[in-house]
Amino acid sequence: MTRPATSQRMSGGAAGDRAALAWLLLGCAGFVLLPWYKVEGGFFSFDWFSRPAEAAPAMLLSGQRPWLLPLALPLLLAGWRLWQGRLRGLGVAGGLGLAWLVAEGFSIIHSGWGFSWLAALAGTPGPTQPGLGWGAVAYAAAMLMLVALDMAARGWCKGDRFVVGALLLVIASLILFVAYPLFSILASAVKDNDGNVVPGLFAEKLFSANIWSLGCLRGAGSCGVAWNTVAVAVLVGVLCTVLGLALALIALRTRLRAKWLLRSLSILPIITPPFVIGLALILLFGRAGIVTTFLSAHLGIPRSRWIYGMAGITMAQVLAFTPIAFLVLVGVLQGVSPSMEEASQTLRASRWRTFRTVTWPLIRPGLASAFLISFIESMADFANPLVLGGNFNVLSTDIFFAVVGAAHDQGRAAVLAIVLLAFTIAAFLAQRRWVGGRSYVTVSGKGDGGVPAPLPGPLRFGCYAAALPWLLLTVVVYAIILSGGFVEQIGRDNTPTLHYFLTAFSVEKGVDGWFLSGSAWPSLLMTIGLALVAMPFTAALGILTAWLLERQYFAGRTLFEFLAMMSFAIPGTVVGISYILAFNVPPVQLTGTGLIIVISFVFRNMPVAIRAGVANLNQIDRSLDEASLTLGARSLATLRRVLLPILKPAVVTAMIYSFVRAVTAVSAVIFLATGRFNLATVYIVGRADVGEYGIAIVYAAVLIVVMMVILVGIQLLIGERRLGRRRAGAEAAVAQL
């Protein structure tokens, strides 16, 4: 632009002119160039050039769809303001554009009017429109950024447009992909299956005996699914906390001091797909399991199916989640300064008294935290109850069955999801309120030469007694997983075989050369591909959010943090059902695509990236960014040139964890996977469901090995020095979760 006179009048200077113009141009491109609606076959096939009718931009469509025409107005308004050299007023234009986009998008959907009152008002079936496409995405992004530019010009966030833009972007994506799906659950809970609003039905479903009955206590029938879930979760929470504490005490306060224990326990739960432990338990204790067969053959104990139900679920979850409690408690125990215990002993307190009066009170909040985290994990766990539940239902599996069954009761699924969500969010809030805010860390920056006090004798014995059976079982479980797929039928027929491995992973030579003929290849490659795509976005969004939380001050920061972290407390099954309810119909229609799986990965794993970012940013003194800002660098330059290089460990951590968690996730994606976008975990659960344990176990073993190789490979690549910090960051991130 060669209009020096105007650009001087601008509040934001010449650069503002360019940025605003660029966003405006993007908005125009979205309106007049790109396909406004979703193109079948995918945008990136680029064959929409050759199919102009189907992939028309909004401007051409507005002949038949006049409601699209008002979308041009904000573009004209913004263009006019820019011509005048003003940034103020862009916000109005952007806001109008977004508001109209949302209003028309929800009012006119695939089947006609989106609201029944609109249909009643119009009296006609109404026009229809498909889901939004990339043109609409470009338009919406441009409008959002115009609002950001205006807000920055008005002095928001010290007038820093990058900060405002980033903030709006993160908030908009959280609203679209976290809040809106949750809202859809609420909306569909009050509807019957034909889409009519029936508030009475909601109450009836919410208070139904299926959910809340206490029959089993009276000895009459079964208990409601909510109580089942709570009972398991409390039991698992207590057991995990006790075992986690025992392991943590052994790792830190005995002569054993096993580093390998700490290391393997911090990695195993992350790379192990959740249902694998349940599978291994069936192979051990199922009716035809190894242990059962042994007992029945040698001791005459008849075979039974005790493992299917509450006992089995509890056992699997305790095996799976104890490492998480352990990591939390290791962090807490490390935070207890040894010199305090030494002081106590110097004052002639016995070892036992020292533990009881000094150590115990200091770790008590950590115990609460460990309990609540195990509680949430247990409630949210979907795969173990699916594999081991038998006729014992919990909320997460019930939600799934309400959707997949022939009954197909989305309303019931929504109600169950609300109940489950209420429990986990309550636990999440409790954890934050009681433990999150306060600091019980007694390690100061000053040198602390204390040596941790050894455990009192009986306590040590108790720790070993609790932890050793658990460790033994864990070792056996992993041995079963890694070997079980390579014998005919483990326990019954231990002839080694490659049969299952070859069914899953064979490579054959056909007419056109070698091809992957194994049944597991499509899902494995798809999983790794989608997880890789999600990885950088998760890390970027997480680190950006962490930076906004740690380094910027703005109104509603606490609410923002809560929204960002809440997705940790939303169980995967709830995410899955909410995505189906929200994104199966226009305006945002994503089901059946790979994109929706990537999005669910990104928003499910974002909290881990945020934690890693926050933990690392905490360690970087603010004076560094201040120096950069004082020297005239903008916030973007500061973030990019000063903070990101130091944050590299956090970035790497975030990437690794988002990748690994995406590969091992199952609860949310089981709703979203399709034939074309099938995922490894969904495939394994499917095999296990019909009883083909051989393939399921061999596939799970391959997944674990692949994860292990990737983790070790990245460690080698990044190098030993950085490894230390990365791991510290990683453990902190996991521990805080």
Partner 1 sequence: MTDTGKRSRGRQSAWVAAGALALGLAGLAGGAKAADRNLVMYCGVDEAWCRAMATTYQKQTGVNVDMTRMSAGEIYARLRAEKANPQADIWWGGTGDPHLQAAEEGLTEEYKSAVLPNLRDWAQKQAERSKYRTVGIYLGALGYGYNEEDLKQRNLKAPECWADLIKPEFEGEVEMADPNSSGTAWTALATMVQLMGEDKAIDYFKQLNKNIAEYTKAGAAPALAVGKGETLVGIAFQHDVINAAKQNTAVKVVSPCEGTGYEIGSMSIVKGAKHLDEAQKYYDWALSVDAQKLAAPNGSYQIPSNKDTPVPPEAPDLSKIKLIDYDFAKYGSSEVRKKLLKRFSDEVRNGG
Q: Can you spell out the DSSP letters for 681-736?
A: HHHHHHHHHHT-HHHHHHHHHHHHHHHHHHHHHHHHHH-HHHHHHHHHHHHHHHHH
Nearest residue (CB) to partner 1, 43 versus 162: 43
Our measurement of the distance from residue 430's CA atom to the centroid of its chain's CA atoms, rounded to an integer in Å, reads 20
Shortest distance, position 398 Cβ to partner 1, whole Å: 11
Give bridge partners of residue 21 from the DSSP assignment: none
Our measurement of the distance from residue 363's CA atom to the centroid of its chain's CA atoms, rounded to an integer in Å, reads 28
Nearest residue (CB) to partner 1, 373 versus 598: 598
Provide the token pair at 714.
Answer: 């990245």
Please give the radius of gyration of the chain, using alpha carbons only, rounded to the nearest integer: 28
Nearest residue (CB) to partner 1, 445 versus 645: 645
CA distance 566 to 648: 25
Shortest distance, position 691 Cβ to partner 1, whole Å: 4
Nearest residue (CB) to partner 1, 445 versus 675: 675
Nearest residue (CB) to partner 1, 15 versus 209: 209
Nearest residue (CB) to partner 1, 474 versus 589: 589
Shortest distance, position 384 Cβ to partner 1, whole Å: 15
The answer to whether 442 touches 362, Cβ cutoff 8 Å, is yes
The answer to whether 135 touches 35, Cβ cutoff 8 Å, is yes
Residue 337 — φ and ψ, nearest 5°?
-70, 130
Q: Which residue has the tokens 């809340």?
A: 212
Shortest distance, position 42 Cβ to partner 1, whole Å: 5
What counts of helices (H) and strands (E) characterise the chain? Answer: 35, 6
Residue 308 — φ and ψ, nearest 5°?
-80, 110
Nearest residue (CB) to partner 1, 477 versus 539: 539
Nearest residue (CB) to partner 1, 39 versus 565: 39
Nearest residue (CB) to partner 1, 62 versus 393: 393
Nearest residue (CB) to partner 1, 125 versus 361: 125
Shortest distance, position 594 Cβ to partner 1, whole Å: 6
Alpha helices in 286-309 (DSSP H): 290-294
Shortest distance, position 44 Cβ to partner 1, whole Å: 5
Provide the token pair at 317.
Answer: 């979850």
Shortest distance, position 645 Cβ to partner 1, whole Å: 7
Nearest residue (CB) to partner 1, 64 versus 111: 111
| One-letter identity of residue 572 | G
Shortest distance, position 305 Cβ to partner 1, whole Å: 5
| Local structure of residue 159 (DSSP, 8 states) | G
Contacts of 142 (CB under 8 A, 6+ apart): 23, 24, 26, 27, 30, 94
Q: Can you spell out the DSSP letters for 437-489?
A: SS------SS-----PPPPPHHHHHHHHHHHHHHHHHHHHHHHHHHHHTTEEE
Peptide bond into 587 cis (omega under 30): yes
CA distance 402 to 417: 11
Contacts of 660 (CB under 8 A, 6+ apart): 270, 271, 707, 710, 711
Nearest residue (CB) to partner 1, 251 versus 703: 703
| Local structure of residue 432 (DSSP, 8 states) | I
Shortest distance, position 726 Cβ to partner 1, whole Å: 11
The phi-psi region of residue 491 (left if phi > 0; otherwise alpha if psi is between -120 and 50; otherwise beta) is left
Residues composing the chain:
737
| Local structure of residue 299 (DSSP, 8 states) | I
Nearest to 595 by CA among 543, 660, 533: 533
Nearest residue (CB) to partner 1, 344 versus 538: 538
Shortest distance, position 287 Cβ to partner 1, whole Å: 5
Shortest distance, position 677 Cβ to partner 1, whole Å: 8
Nearest to 475 by CA among 467, 487, 486, 463: 467
Shortest distance, position 529 Cβ to partner 1, whole Å: 3
Residue 718: how many CB atoms within 10 A of its CB? 16
Shortest distance, position 168 Cβ to partner 1, whole Å: 25
Shortest distance, position 97 Cβ to partner 1, whole Å: 26
Nearest to 361 by CA among 347, 348, 344, 346: 344
Shortest distance, position 536 Cβ to partner 1, whole Å: 6
Q: What are the distances in angstroms from CA 489 to CA 68, 299, 426, 493, 499?
A: 62, 22, 44, 5, 11
Nearest residue (CB) to partner 1, 329 versus 662: 662
CA distance 55 to 64: 14
The answer to whether 455 touches 333, Cβ cutoff 8 Å, is no
Provide the token pair at 582.
Answer: 């929200």
| One-letter identity of residue 432 | R
Shortest distance, position 633 Cβ to partner 1, whole Å: 19
**How many CA atoms within 13 Å lie on the side-chain side of 717?**
9
| Local structure of residue 633 (DSSP, 8 states) | -
Shortest distance, position 404 Cβ to partner 1, whole Å: 5
Nearest residue (CB) to partner 1, 88 versus 408: 408
